[in-house]
Amino acid sequence: MPACIIPVGPEFKDPEGFGNSPPEILSPDPAFGATTTATPTTPKTFSITVFDLNADDFLSVRWFVDGMLGPETKHMPSLAMPHAAPQEIGCQQSMDLNLNQHLVKAAVADRDFDNNNPNDKLAIKDPVFGKVTQITWTLNLTCPMGTPSP
């Protein structure tokens, strides 16, 4: 009996989707890693533009000076559009007044930060799917010791 071979056609599948990509920090001013200066009476404005390729519902932005959490966390709509996130840093911020150089950090997450994790201020509520991106600068600033820190 003759054998008949029927070729099996290609198996079509939807391509695997991209995983969640981290939020991006664009156009930082000052530039990434820069050292900049402020005076006790003139704070320095740090500015970043945040963007999320996955168009998550919102982005959370946190600012730190010397490891201390700055003003409240800002929530910005994402919708795959860049958004500016400026922050003034000066002697009115919580910072180590014994230092003349301060580490300034901005962190951007595509989920809510987890405020119930005191050991990790960059922890997010959904660590399986959420991502965090950060940037740092050095700020030369000597504040008078009598400056109130919130």
> pTM for this structure?
0.81
CATH of the domain at 58: 2.60.40
Alpha-carbon distance of 66 to 31, in angstroms, equals 19
Say which residues have a Cβ less than 8 Å from residue 7's Cβ, sequence separation at least 6.
none
Each residue's pLDDT tens digit, 11-25: 666 556 667 889 999
pLDDT score at 150: 47
* 3 domain-assigned: no
Structural domain harbouring 122: 24-140
CA distance 102 to 28: 18
CA distance 107 to 23: 10
Q: Which of 35, 28, 61 is nearest to 132 (CA)?
A: 61
**Top-ranked range on mean pLDDT: pick from 32-36, 49-53, 91-95, 115-119:** 32-36
Does some domain include residue 8? no
Is residue 83 within a helix (H) or strand (E), and if so which, with residue range?
Answer: strand 83-89
User: How many structural domains compose the chain?
Assistant: 1
Residue 10 confidence (pLDDT): 67
Examine the pLDDT at 90 and tell me if it is beyond 70. Answer: yes
- Is 89 contained in some domain? yes
The answer as to whether 94 is a domain residue is yes
Is the residue at 13 inside a domain?
no
pLDDT of residue 16: 62
Report which DSSP code applies to 39: B
124 within domain boundaries: yes
Q: How confident is the model at residue 92 (pLDDT cuts 50, 70, 90)?
A: confident
pLDDT of the residue at 9: 63
Confidence category of residue 149, pLDDT binned at 50, 70, 90: very low
Question: Is the residue at 35 inside a domain?
Answer: yes
pLDDT tens digits, 33-87: 999 999 999 999 999 999 998 878 889 999 999 999 987 888 888 767 788 989 9
Query: Is residue 76 in a domain?
Result: yes
